[in-house]
Every structure is written in structure tokens, then in C-alpha cells.
Structure 1
Amino acid sequence: MNYGALDVEEFGSVYEGLLEFDAIVAPPTHAMPWRYTLAAGKARAASGSHYTPEALVQPLLQHSLDLLIQEKLREAAEGVRPATKGRAIPTEAESKAIQIAQTDALLSLRIADVACGSGHMLLSAARRLATELARIQTGQEQPSPNARRAAQRQVISQCLYGTDYNPLAVELCKVALWLEAHNPGEPLDFLDHHIRCGNAIVGLTRPEDLSRGIATEAFASLKGDDKPFASALRSRNRQERTVANQTTFEFEPASRTDVRNLGVAYEHLRQMPDHTAEEVEAKGVAYRALREQASTFRLGQLADLQVAPFFIPKTANNAHLLLTDADYRRYLRGTQELHTAATDLATEVSIERRFFHWFIEFPDVLVEHGGFDLILGNPPFLGNRGLKGAYGDAFLNWVTTEYAPAGAVDLVTYFFRRIFRLLRPGGILSLISTNTIAQGDAREGGLAVLLDEGGRIHHAVRSMKWPGRANVEVSLITLQRAPLNSWPALLDGKTVPQITSYLDDDENGIDPYLLKSNANQCFQGSIVLGTGFILAPETARHLIDTNPENSAVIYPYLNGDDLNSSSDQSPSRWVINFHDWPLRRFSSAEWEELTTEERERIELRISKGNVVATAPPDYNGKVAEDYPECLSIVEKLVRPERQRLNENGEYVLRSPLPELWWIYADKRPKLYRAIQDLEHCLVTAHTSKLGSLDFASTKNVLDAKLIVFRFSDYGIFGLMQSNFHLSWAWKYRTSMRADLIYANNRIFETFPFPELTPKMHEAGLTYYTFRQQLMQDLNLGLTKTYNLFHTPDLTATAIAKAAKLNDRILAEDLCTRFRELRSLHCQMDKEVAYAYGWPDIDLDHGFHAQEYLPENDRIRFTISPAARREILEGLLALNHLRYAEEQAVLANQS
């Protein structure tokens, strides 16, 4: 490879590839000396970081930096020569003044990437801004390479800022910027004050955050904490904050002066020249002096003291190291010296966790400039389930507190919240995100909060496949903080009136309510948590043949894959189920050894229907030990997994999973009570491509990958398989890719049902019967059947290939039957429309592109986008009406 021919971005991608590896120093052996090698690591991938393809960078720049450049140039020109001035051509003096004003305006931009990696996005921004700057400075449309390079050096040293959690990434970013901006005969820019290492979302943002004090949530009891001690700290802190909130409080004037002086000093540092080696050295000396001065260190200590309690174990041994709110405010007021063991520990924790206090790291921006003009980025993607494993309980407690109401959501949501606070008024964020940012809790705790606080999305791409290796669907979002410009809103390349937090153009922009009438009708299936419970069919048959009594605890086990892939939705596996039974009965001798109080406590728990591990000797109910063959399997395969220990000798899993190892993690008793009188019930896969529904036997154990409805009526089936319910489900879904994840509370419990009609029942039954026979004839499951259903210009060849048919005549007949199935679906939708009282809606069934799906797979046989919009508006209005009626009833009852 000719490394000399690589450009800066190619170097960056090569270097960033090194971030995927861990350095290994191998000690010498009798055969080998000391060795240094690289081994594939998991830390970067586990943190959700990915290199950003150019195809995603350019749209972000186009709808953010390009707009800012145009705005700055226009404002600068009008500041010199107002647009209302009569003469069309400016004078020479005016032209010169405009040139100076526009140069200053462009160099006044403050641009950051808060997860900068090797600097790819910053490089792209530098080139875009430097090209325009060189045009202004030279008066040429195509400036020379030397002019561009000089402009790039100015832009990089004056305008760009970056952070990354990975220290190596920070160094790579500086190298990339040096290579881009290097002028022959000049030293490398000083960048240490602009490219920094730290956790961008853990720390304080602005100086006024110091006055917030210590949050009571910092003392939540986490794994390994002393619960009574943590509880006492919470009570004390809550009481202290109540007192503090009753008075107006600001940190003392000396700290305010320190903050102000730090901003001025950093602004002076930014303007220091660095054209010679001596100037670069002087700039470095000045920077280090600012970092090390007592006032800066004190501000850092105060900020650390506020964040550190989230990360310090709450144990009695740490009692003298854990400050509560009153302690903190004494330090803040300056009435207590900061040189204590508690402040020292806070500093240690800050260094270890890489706290990043933005107003201290970049005071020239956060204090002097009011915030960033533009923050670009590709923040890490990491789903809520991966957060705890990658970052720990303490981190999760911090982000869910700092970024409330966002709970445990994708990591990128917290970056949106933090970045928005870093913007100056009128500033812009332009980010790549997982498409979950517009769904569920992530939307409510992310984009919805930003729009409520005065933000406006003016550019978004709802969902597109990541161009690289990462198997994820992403969204592109550009949002401005108030005051707002009048830029047109572009959604998926189309001009729309507005873009909501759902990344659609719905004019209502309001959320549905949970409806009391829908409660206890929809459930998630059982969470087994232990593959040892699951049996192959032949093992289940053998256990039952050997001992027919085992049939009482061995059940067919239906999951989402079976539902969607089997032509008759039959389970492919079986499962052992000990329900909520005790493990065994006490022997008479053991029972006698218990105290009266202990025996009464056990009997009381049983009478209340609570689980006990061991029952009284005369207990008439079943216990797991009554089925020794099955219990032996579970004890051998499940118990070791449930009772794993960590390095401290504690159970890895939460209580009571290790103690009640023979019982499912979540038995879903409400679910099975709800369906116990039904022969079959309606189910859908929790995650699916198409949201298809079917009926399942209530004699099955229904897996957690199923959503179960307490309905067996074909009218309800027709309603929920209709495009009315499916449109609602897709609107309020939560998904990281293109799949529909059916969230009970967001979809079902908000959906306003109509009164069922006999014709709905008839249409649902006809459709269901026809569909099931078609699936049986094809030997295809729901997913493959609906793939054909949604295929335009469906051919006999396509059907024969999907169903592995050799009979072409049969396949030709099946084409006709698919057309009939579509016709039956249209009829089902029409009956639902009549049930809602909306017979005049033009459903316009056909093959339509669904804008919320990926470009390469968005054609569906469904209602038109216009009909979908009208239906969603009607359903939302009906939801609000039903909610108001329910609240009125509750008010009357009270």
C-alpha cells in the first residue's frame, strides 16, 4: 500500500480501525522475548461507537453548517451595508468592510463534535467552512490550495472543538487536524485546549449548574451498597434540599468571578498566535498555567463534588467521604475549605470516570460565547439493555437522573439532551441517531423534551440503513434551539409544514393517553430465564411416556418464531413449568424446629397466594419435588445459571431469581388468569416485520417474545389485523431497526376501540379462514405469506419459489387467491371504518410506499398515506375524548 497517497480521512479511518484493538504486552518465555501485539478488543463496540461514513456526514453539514454560513455572511454584509440601501453595487470601501466583517463572522462560529473519534466530522466541517472563508479572503470562487490551507489552519485553531471518551481517539483527532491544517514552514497548531478527553454526558454543563446541589437520587441503593445506610443518606439529603429550596441561593461572588475570569482567559488563549515554534510553546505554557491555577482547580472540585456521590459506594466505611447537600453548599459558599478526604476522593472518581465539566473545559465557548453555534456528531448507539453491562449501575443512575424524564433508553438519547444544553440561542445540533430516538421512552425523554424547550427540527431522515458494517437503522436529525430561523422543514427530502418528535409531519403533535378501559387486556408472555426449562419434543415425549404424571408440568411452548414461521402456528418445543409452586414440603421434624412465628409467616404467605420455597408438611397443593425427573433436569441445567456468583461472592442475578431457581423469572399470573376460560387467544410477536396476528391455544406456555390479548373473537382479530390498528401500532412503535416492536402500553393501552359489529365479526372470520387455508396449502408461516401479500406484480414463479412448489398450475391459482386475500383485507378495513362511523374515508387500497420503513423495503399493500393520516388523526381525537370521559367518571366517583 502506498501510504503517501492516502488523504487525511483515509489515514483517520485506518487509525480509527486501531481503536478496535487492545494492546497486549506479553512477558518473555524460554522461547520468546518480550512481545508487543494487538488483539481484537470489544470495548469500543460495546460502547456503541462506530466510524461515520461520508454518506451520512454530508447531509448533516448541508442542513446545518451550510445554513449557518449563509446566515453569517448575510448578517455581516447587512451590518455594513443594509439591504435597503439604494445603490446595487457597494463601494470599494464597503466591499473591503464586508470582507472583513464576513471573515470575522465565519471565524466566530464555534463548532463541536462531542464523540469525535478520529476527527472525521470535524475535518469535513473544517473543509466546508475553510472553503467559504478562503473565497471571502481571496475574492475568488476557486481559491488556490495555499489559500485553502491557510483558511483551514484558521478554522481549525479558532472554530473547532472535540471530545471523546477514548484518550487514543483524542490523539488521533489532533493528528488528523494537524495533517489537514499544516502549512510548510509553520509548526503544528496547538490543539490541546480544543480537543479534550472525557465523558461528554457525565459532568456539569454550565456554571449555574453548581447551584443545583447534590441530587437525592445520588444515594440510590445499588448493587453492593448498604441499603439501610443509603436510605438514611437519602432521607438526610432530601431534608437538606427542602431547607435549601426554601431560600434563594447562588454560589459566592468569588466563584462567579473565577468563572468569568476563566472565560476571558481562555478567549485570550484562543486568540494567541501559533505561527512559530516559540508562539506554540508560549500558548502551551499559558494553557497549562490556566489548567493548574488554584481558581480553576477549585471550580473543578466543586463540580466533581456534585457528581461523585453517584459513583461512590454507599457503605458505612465511606460515611466520611459521602457529602450530602448541606455539606456541599458549605463548600460552595466558601465557608469550608476544600482540602478534605471527601474532596480528594471526588477528584479521584472524576479522573477515573472522566467527568467532563463543559464550562471548565471550554469556558471561552460556554461562558464567553453563550454556547456552541453547531454541534455535529455520531454519538454512540447502545440500547438500554446494554447500558448497565457496558457502563455500570452508577452510570445508569446518573443519566436517568440528569436527563429525566428519560429513563433507561438508548445512549444516544442522553447525548441529544446534553448537546441541546450546550447550544447557544439559535444554535444547531445535527446528529446521527438510531431510529428509536423518535419512539417510546427515548422520544418522550429526548426529542419531545427538546421541542418543548423551544427546539425545532428542520431536517430529518426518518430511517435509513447504516452504510457500513453496523447492523442498525439510523435517523438523521438537525434541530435548532430558539430563537428560530425560518428555514423550511425537510422530512425525507420533502418540504413539510413541521417535523414532530415522532419524526413525522403530523400537525397535532400531541400524544395519546393510556385508557383505563384497555387495562388488563394485553400482556407479555412468560419470561422463563433458563434454557434448561426448555425441552425438545422427543425429550418431552420420553418424560411423559416414562411417567404420565409429568404431563402436569410439561407444556407446549410457543414463541414468536413459531408464530410467524409455522403454517399452523404450532410450537416447536416444550417446556417444564412448576408455576408458582414451592420447591418441596418441610419434613415433620423440620416443621417442629421452626418457631411459631416462622410457621405462621409461611402459612400467611401461602394464604395470600405468595410464593414460598418450602411448604408445611400437610400442604395439599403441588410442589416441584412431586415431579423428580423434571426437577432433576431443572436443578442440573437452570440452578447453576441462576445462582452464578460474581468476584465478591454475591449472586449475579437480582433477588429472588437465584433463590427461586425452579420458577420462571416472570410467571405472568395475570396473563394466565385472564385467558384461563378461553380455548384460544389472540397473539402477535413482540418483534416482527409486519405485525401479523393469530390465535394460540391457551394450553400453551406463551413465551416472552409474544404479546397476548385476552380476546378470542374474530371481530377483534379483524380490527387488530386491519390497517386502522396497524397504522396506530407503526406510529407508536419502538424499534431499533425496521421491525415493529409491539409495546403494550404505547400501542394497545392507548388504542380507542370501536363498538364491535356483526359485520366486523363476519369479515374477520372470513379473512382468517381464507388466510389459514392459504397458509396450509403453501406450507408457509405468517411472515412469508405476508411477504407475498405485499409483493406488487406477484407472479406464480415467486410463489413457487417461496413455497417450494413444482406445480405451476397450482401456483397460478395461488396468485388469484392472493388477490382475493387482499380483497378480503379491503373489506375488513371497510367494516372497521363503518364501526368507527367513518364510512366516507377514501381508504384507497393499493401498493403504497411507507415512509417510516427503509427505502429498500417500504412497499406494502395497504391504505394510502392520506387515508393513514386521516385515520390516525381520528383515532387520536377519539383517544382524547375517551380519556376525558374516563376522567370525568373518576371525578364523579370521588
Structure 2
Amino acid sequence: MRCLFTMFAEDVGLLEDRAFTRLLEDCRRKPVSFVPKITELWNKMNTGGYSVVLDAQIRRFNGGLFADTTAVALNEDQVQLLLEAANADWKEVEPAIFGTLLERALDPRERHKLGAHYTPRAYVERLVQPTIMEPLRREWDGVQAAALKLTNEGKNDAAVVTIERFLQRLADLRVLDPACGSANFLYVTLELLKRLEGEVRNVLRGLGQGQISIGLTGATITPENMLGIELNPRAAKIAELVLWIGYLQWHLRSTGDLADLGDPVLRDYHNIENRDAVLAWDHAEDVLDDDGNPVTRWDGVTYKTHPVTGEQVPDDLARTRVQRLVGAKATTWPRADFIVGNPPFIGDKRMNDTLGKEYVTALRKVYSKLPNSIDFVMYWWFKSGLEVHSGNSVQFGLITTNSIKQTFNRRVIEEFLNHKKPLSLKFAIPDHPWVDSQDGAAVRIAMSVVSKGEEEGVLNKIGTDNILFAQIGKIYSDLTIGANIAGTITLAANINVASIGVVLIGKGFFVDETFPQSEIVKEFIGGRDITQNNRNLRVIDAFGLEIQQLLSEYPREYQWLRDKVKPIRDQNNRKVRRDNWWIFGEPNPSLRDRVIGLEKIIVTPRTAKHRFFTLLNSSTVPESEVICITLDDNYFLGVLSSKIHTLFADLAGGRMGIGNDSRYMHSRTFETFPFPTPTEPQKIHIRNLAERLDAHRKRQQTQHEKLTMTGMYNVLEQVRAGEPLTDKEKNIYDHGLVGILRELHDELDAAVALAYGWPADLEEQEILQRLVDLNAVRAAEEARGLVRWLRPEYQAPDEVRGVQSALELDDDAPAPVVVEARKWPATLAARATALRELLAVAGERDLSLAAVATAFKPKLTKTKLAEAEGLLDTLVALGQAEVGDGGWHLV
């Protein structure tokens, strides 16, 4: 880091031209001189003074970077490599890329990812702009309007004071990234704020303020404005360097040189903290076993080759001590006006393996009010929400995985949105491409920006070429606008019917074709087997067998599992999985109970590009990526396969993964879905159509072994859109008889709509709104004791019961939201901003002066209304608004 900054300092004129490069040229000829020469240079950069090795006066740099002047001895070839780097032009190095590159280069396990793609800066700005810059620019618009009005009234000094106050506002600003990494977000924010500062200074010049008088204010944005928290000590140090390089680059571009910088050139503001952002503790202590020895676990990264199978298995000799966190508590963040960042992407299922069971246990205990099943990133979302709710921060904007829309994660959001003093989603992108900073992998993320109060927001969706399409309205916790799908509740009628399949935890459960099908060797199906081609897999399912019974009755299967499953399961964090290594990690006994007496069940892939349902033999073992609906009436297959359900499921379940695929979360997509109440003839018709649909698809796949469900539905989607088919797609169309598939779906959609008593040609938003309304009707029915059980003989074998207490009205439910009345602000600039916000709320409608008067409480007096009219006209003069027939509206 010291070498790289010295190269940068040379190229921006903080050292004499090529001074460091010449030093390296000398050291290449005599490598033994490298350590003493570079140490002397860095000592002088730390303190300032005359450098003997450069034969030049050196400015004082300090800033902590040169407090340690340790240098590593290099041979001639290594100095040559350093010299080649120094010969590059570091003046315009992109700090965001530079930081990430350096961070990965320092970690041996990350070096293979150096060629990975970097997150485009435009993506970072998509969050920084609505989180920080847009509210500040709204303030700035108001300040300019006030200054112009004062100038027109001959009050030039007052106008200058108004502008200077805003300049000081920027200088006092604090921005926090509580998971800053190597400071990509903070650097981009710093540069955007410096641009805004430059605009403010230009306006001051236009008001007659010279450069000297502007400089006397001392109000400027520096790296001190940027606060960060980072767990990785290397990344935290790099973050400081990135901010300073970015700041010096901006100063050089805006002033032409760095001569006017004071000493030291770098300052150590202690603004980047190296600590955990969500959990603090007094100390860590070893967990001891019964004999008093430290408990250890597999380190999670080291593997070895199994002597029998030849496969990679955990190396049980690579151990790390298990430590208990003593005195764990929630962290405190430094106060900041805005919070922005990209916290780590760790799903709840991976937290134990990635963070350690003891850490996760302590985390969940400290944040006991939050659901245990939330992703790691939601702890940042929760803490950011608290900062805004308390008034410490104006807004926050975070990157999360797009699983933020899933049930447990959504509960964190709903706590704030439904509070009697609510927060609002001001901006959201529910699905956006990204590059994971941890491993360079392509992922899908969501962006959310939150502020205080009850307000509408801007919802963006990504189109082709990453073009954004915006909607304006109330954004719900599932990051949608329109029908409040996220507000639907679980219906008692639908519970204990749908679930996921089993979780194996060990590939060794799969057997080859030499194992005949038996009571414990069963057919296995995963999501891929449904969407693509069936792989005809088999697994050993020893659920219900004790280990001695497995050994005595199925010795071959026992040995297979002992060799292929046990080495993996021996390192599992969960004791029950280690001790019962011959049984699936999650054998799902409740699903086994539900399928008793059923020949077929309805299944759908949990994640799929297209949402479809099919029938499966109940004896087959489904994996967790298959949703199993234990209903034996094909009428339900028909309703679930209809557009009415798939549309609802698509929004209720959300999307995830690189392919942005539909996610069927049965607790939200099935258990909240209100089924129709058809007549018997309608039910028979839907049942017949469903059976024809399922038979048609399976027949065509049997006849054409390469034909897949995804392929057929891809082509069906193109046919509906009127898009031309390629030769390959025409082949799928012919083999799948996709024209007939379309007819069957059209008939089914119409039949299900009729069962609801709805027209067959309803718009999608109308369908969704009717389903939301029907969910509320059904919930009210159940509260009165009427439950329309889907499978009464299983769900309610004794009697039809009333709704459970969990569905009763909660006396502690949040109070209805009350929008607080606007107050006429105290300052002229704030009044201009308030009027601009009123125009934004009015949208395309003209805002009359009478409407302005009544928008504030108490109602504006004639004097205040005249001032408001003048400010609105000033907004027009600045090009921020226009005058229409009925008043003013935003441009």
C-alpha cells in the first residue's frame, strides 16, 4: 500500500517527477539498497524534511500510512516488477477498482478471482443517487430558489448567507457505510458530493464572492465526512487509502495542482473503524468438553482425498477452536446523516457454516425480536431502520440479495412500514444484476432506500440493456406497487397441505444403477428433473431405521453410506446430523405422514423460469427444491396451473438467482391463496382440463426424450408474444405440440375465472387486487368460524374447527397510519423545498394556490401565501417547475 501510494504521489506532483521511479532504477542495479533507501524515503514522508535518497525536500504526508516504514527486501527481478508498476500512470487510477484489486491480492484464497468482473460504477451510483444526492439536491433547489428571490429583492448579502449555510451543511455532513469493504460506495459518494460542492461554490462566485473569500469559510468536504465500519483489517486500511486517493484526484482536477494542500497531506481522521458492524462482545473464550479440553471443529475450508472413493471430503485434522462470545450485545453506529452500503450476502442457511454456530447463536440472542430465519444482511437493514426511525439519520439505502422479498426477511421491513410512526420505501429496485464483492460471482440483488414518514416512492424495474422503468406509488414490503400482495395473510384452510421435500446433506445418498429399487432404495426427483430432463436418480432412504437394523438388513447400503456420507457428516455443525449420519439431513417426517393413502401428489419446482405444476408418484422422494402439495384431486392441479394462481405466485414468492427465476415460497404463494368455490360441474370441467394438460406434456416428453418443460414453456411464451421462432424453437413447437398446450391453458384460465365468477379477460392488476380482497374476505370468514378446508379428512379429521387463535385480531396491532400535517418551515430555503415536495406529490396535476394554502397547518395567511407564490414563480424561473392552466407542476 505504501509503494502504491508513493507511485500515485509521484504522478500527481506530490513528489518530484519520476523521483520514486529513479530510486527503483537505482535499486534494481543494487537490490540490497532497496530496504534502506525506501525506509529513509518513507520516514521523510511521515515527518516531512529533506530526503537524502531523493536529494529533495519532502512534504509531510503522515495520515497513519507512513507511521510504519517497514520495507521488505526484494531481489532484482522483484524490483523490476515494482519498477514496471511505477512506470504506469497512477494519476487517474480508478479508486473503486484499485481497492478491490488490492484487497483480493492480499488474500491468498482470493487471488484466483483477480480477473473477476467488477461492479460497474453506474450500479453503485444507482443507490447513492436516490439515497444521498437526490434529497440534498432537493435542498439545494430550495436554497437556490430562496437566494434568487433575495437577489431579486436587492438582498444580495442575505442571498450569500443562504448559500454559505448550505455549503456549511455539506461540510458538516456525515455518510456511513457500515460494511464499507475497500470503500467503493464511500468513494463514489465523496466524488458526487464534491461535484455538488463545486456547484455551490460557482453560485457564490456568481454572487460576487471571490476565491479567497470563499476559501475563508473553511467549509469543504474531505474524507473526514465519510465514515465506515469494516471487519476485515486489510480492507479497512485500504478504504482509508482509497478515500484519500479519490479526494486528491478531485482536488487536482478542480484546482490544477495540489500545492495549496496543507501539511500533513494525509490526515488520520479515524473515520474507518475496524470492527464488527452488528455484534460486539466483551471477550471470547474457548468452549471446553467434559474433560476440560478445548472443543474444535473443522475449519470449513480444508479438504482431503478420501482413500476409498477418491472424492474430496473435509480434512478432519484441519481444526479451529470453538469459542463462545461473552457479553455479546448490539453495536452502536456513529451518527450519520445518511447510511449507504452493500452488507455481506449470506443466506440464513449458510450463516452457521460461514460465521460459526457460536457467533450466530449470540447474534440471534442479541436480536431476539427478529426472526431467526432472516438473512445476515437484514441485521444491517434493521439497524439502519432504527437510525432513521430515531431521527439520527435522514435516509438509508442498502444493497441486499433479492431474497429480501421473502417472508421472514420481509417481516423486518413490515415492522417499520406498519409502525404508527412509519418509515417509507422511497426508492426500490426489486431485481438488479450485481457482482458479489466477496467472490466476483454474478448475483441478483435488490436496492431499497428508506426515509421517515408516510410517502410514496419510486419503484424501478430493469429492462433490456439495464434501462430503468419507473413506477410511482406506495411501495410495499415485497417491493411492489399496486395490489398489496405482501399484506395477504395465511388462511387456515390451506395449512398442512404444502411443504418442501427432503434435504439430503451428502451426495453419498445417491446410488448407481447396480442398486435395485427396494424399500429403502427409491426414486429421487429434484427441481431440475421437473424443469429439464429426468435424470432417473435413486437414493438410499433409511429414515425410520436404527443403525444396527440398517447394518443387519441392508449391509451393502450401510457400507455405501458409511464410506460416502459419514466423512462429510462427521464435520457437520449440528449434532443430530453427525450422530444420525445414515439419515437425510432433513427427512421431513410431516410430508411422509401427509402422503399416506395418496397415489399422486402435485409438485412444482421451488425455483423455475416458468411456473407450472405436475403430478408425481407419492412413493418418489422429492428434494427440498420441489414443493409438494398433498392434494389428490386434480381439480386443484387445474386451479394451481391457471394464470390466476401463477400470476399471484409470481409476485407473492418473488424472484431470485442469476436467472431471475420465479420462487415458489409455499407459505406465501399457497397458504395465502384464496381458492374459488365452484359448482360441481365447474369443478369437473377444471379437473378434466388439468388431467388433459398433464397427460399432454408427459406424452410429448416420452415421445421426444430431449424435450423439456422449460423448453416448451419458453416457446409458448414467445408464441403468446408474437415473436418469430428459430429453427430450434420450431422443432420444440412441433415436438411439444405447443399450439395444443396453449389451447389447454387458455381453456383452463377461462374455466378457473368462471369458477371465481370473474370475466376471463381481466387485466393482471385487477386479478391481483381481487385476490387480495378475497384473501381478506376468507380471513374474516375464518375468524367467524367458517374454514373452507382443502383436505378436511387430513386437516380437520374430527370436526370443522374455527380459525386458530393465531389468526384472531391482535389487540397490539399497529395503529392506522396518520399522515402528519405539514408545517410552514422557518427558513426561506426550507419553504422552497417544501413547496417543491408538494409539487412532487401532485405529480402531473396542476397545484393551485388555494391547494397550497390548505396543504399547511395552520392554513397559510395572505402574507405567507404571497411568499409561497413568489417561491413557486422562482422555481419556474430556475426551470424546476412550469405554470399550467390550474397552477404549478414539476418539470
Provide TM-score, normalisation by structure 2.
0.64
Q: Which has the higher helix share?
A: 1
**Is it true that 1:387 corresponds to 2:451 in the alignment?**
no
**1:882–1:789 Cα change, 3 Å:** farther
**Is it true that 1:104 corresponds to 2:139 in the alignment?**
no
1:552 paired residue number: 519
1:305 paired residue number: none
**Is it true that 1:195 corresponds to 2:272 in the alignment?**
yes
1:325-358 C-alpha deviation (Å, 9 max, x unpaired):
xxxxxxxxxxxxxxxxxxxxx6xx99xxxx8533
After TM superposition, give the deviation of residue 557 of structure 1 in Å: 1.9
1:692 paired residue number: 612
**Is it true that 1:771 corresponds to 2:697 in the alignment?**
yes
**1:877–1:532 Cα change, 3 Å:** same
Quick one: distance in 2 between partners of 1:735 and 1:812? 27
Choose from 133, 140, 144 the match for 1:73: 140
Question: Where do 1:155-174 residues align within 5 Å?
Answer: 155-157=221-223, 159-174=225-240
After TM superposition, give the deviation of residue 785 of structure 1 in Å: 1.6
After TM superposition, give the deviation of residue 157 of structure 1 in Å: 4.9
1:276-301 C-alpha deviation (Å, 9 max, x unpaired):
xxxxxxxxxxxxxxxxxxxxxxxxxx
2:669 paired residue number: 747
Quick one: distance in 1 between partners of 2:510 and 2:556? 14
SS of equivalent to 1:489: strand
SS of equivalent to 1:528: coil
Choose from 823, 842, 848 the match for 2:761: 842
1:578 paired residue number: 542
SS of equivalent to 1:416: helix
Contact 2:348 2:375 in 1 (8 A): yes
Instruction: Write the letter of the residue equivalent to 2:371.
Output: A
SS of equivalent to 2:221: helix
2:179 paired residue number: 115
SS of equivalent to 2:747: helix
1:683 paired residue number: 603
2:847 paired residue number: none
**1:54–1:869 Cα change, 3 Å:** same
Instruction: Write the letter of the residue equivalent to 1:195.
Output: I
**Is it true that 1:62 corresponds to 2:129 in the alignment?**
yes
2:718 paired residue number: 791
Quick one: distance in 2 between partners of 1:167 and 1:65? 27
After TM superposition, give the deviation of residue 147 of structure 1 in Å: 12
Instruction: Write the letter of the residue equivalent to 1:66.
Output: M
After TM superposition, give the deviation of residue 520 of structure 1 in Å: 2.4
SS of equivalent to 1:656: helix
Choose from 310, 313, 316 the match for 2:324: 313
After TM superposition, give the deviation of residue 120 of structure 1 in Å: 2.4
**Is it true that 1:524 corresponds to 2:500 in the alignment?**
yes
Question: Where do 1:645-794 residues align within 5 Å?
Answer: 652-733=572-653, 735-737=655-657, 738-756=660-678, 757-779=683-705, 780-792=707-719
Instruction: Write the letter of the residue equivalent to 1:132.
Output: L
Instruction: Write the letter of the residue equivalent to 2:444.
Output: E
**1:792–1:475 Cα change, 3 Å:** farther
Quick one: distance in 2 between partners of 1:767 and 1:417? 46
**1:180–1:19 Cα change, 3 Å:** closer
Instruction: Write the letter of the residue equivalent to 1:729.
Output: A
1:378 paired residue number: 342
The RMSD of aligned alpha carbons is 4.1
**Is it true that 1:125 corresponds to 2:189 in the alignment?**
yes
**1:583–1:477 Cα change, 3 Å:** closer
Quick one: distance in 2 between partners of 1:92 and 1:145? 17
SS of equivalent to 1:520: coil
Contact 1:714 1:764 in 2 (8 A): yes
**1:96–1:798 Cα change, 3 Å:** closer
Contact 1:432 1:476 in 2 (8 A): yes
Choose from 433, 437, 459 the match for 1:465: 433
**1:380–1:670 Cα change, 3 Å:** closer
SS of equivalent to 2:400: strand
1:637 paired residue number: 564
The alignment covers a number of residue pairs equal to 645
**Is it true that 1:478 corresponds to 2:449 in the alignment?**
yes
Choose from 441, 444, 456 the match for 2:411: 444
Provide TM-score, normalisation by structure 1.
0.64
Contact 2:612 2:641 in 1 (8 A): yes
SS of equivalent to 1:632: helix
Question: Where do 1:259-658 residues align within 5 Å?
Answer: 313=324, 357-358=332-333, 362=334, 366=335, 372-403=336-367, 404-423=369-388, 424=391, 427-446=394-413, 448-449=415-416, 452=419, 454-466=422-434, 469-482=440-453, 489-492=458-461, 493-506=469-482, 508=484, 511-537=487-513, 539-541=514-516, 551-566=518-533, 572-584=536-548, 625-644=552-571, 652-658=572-578
2:779 paired residue number: 880
Quick one: distance in 1 between partners of 2:553 and 2:432? 55
Quick one: distance in 1 between partners of 2:756 and 2:673? 13
**1:181–1:681 Cα change, 3 Å:** closer
Quick one: distance in 2 between partners of 1:683 and 1:641? 30
1:738-772 C-alpha deviation (Å, 9 max, x unpaired):
22332232222222222351221122223223333
Quick one: distance in 2 between partners of 1:669 and 1:138? 71
**1:879–1:139 Cα change, 3 Å:** same
Question: Where do 1:2-41 residues align within 5 Å?
Answer: 5-6=89-90, 10-22=94-106, 40=110
After TM superposition, give the deviation of residue 376 of structure 1 in Å: 1.6
After TM superposition, give the deviation of residue 422 of structure 1 in Å: 3.0
After TM superposition, give the deviation of residue 22 of structure 1 in Å: 4.3
**1:449–1:312 Cα change, 3 Å:** farther
- Point out where structure 2 has 5 or more consecutive residues left out of the alignment: 1-84, 249-257, 292-321, 462-468, 788-799, 806-891
Contact 1:724 1:829 in 2 (8 A): yes
Contact 1:130 1:152 in 2 (8 A): no
**1:147–1:420 Cα change, 3 Å:** farther
Quick one: distance in 1 between partners of 2:588 and 2:804? 31
After TM superposition, give the deviation of residue 442 of structure 1 in Å: 1.0
Quick one: distance in 2 between partners of 1:223 and 1:50? 41
**1:439–1:103 Cα change, 3 Å:** same
1:449-472 C-alpha deviation (Å, 9 max, x unpaired):
355352111111121222684321
Contact 1:683 1:706 in 2 (8 A): yes
Contact 1:528 1:664 in 2 (8 A): yes
1:293 paired residue number: none
**1:748–1:796 Cα change, 3 Å:** closer
Contact 2:478 2:486 in 1 (8 A): no
Question: Where do 1:34-49 residues align within 5 Å?
Answer: 40=110
**1:44–1:375 Cα change, 3 Å:** farther
Instruction: Write the letter of the residue equivalent to 1:692.
Output: F
Identity of aligned residues (%): 21
Higher mean displacement: 9-18 or 409-418: 9-18
Quick one: distance in 2 between partners of 1:834 and 1:151? 73
Instruction: Write the letter of the residue equivalent to 1:179.
Output: I
Quick one: distance in 2 between partners of 1:713 and 1:181? 67
After TM superposition, give the deviation of residue 373 of structure 1 in Å: 1.8
Quick one: distance in 2 between partners of 1:5 and 1:866? 55
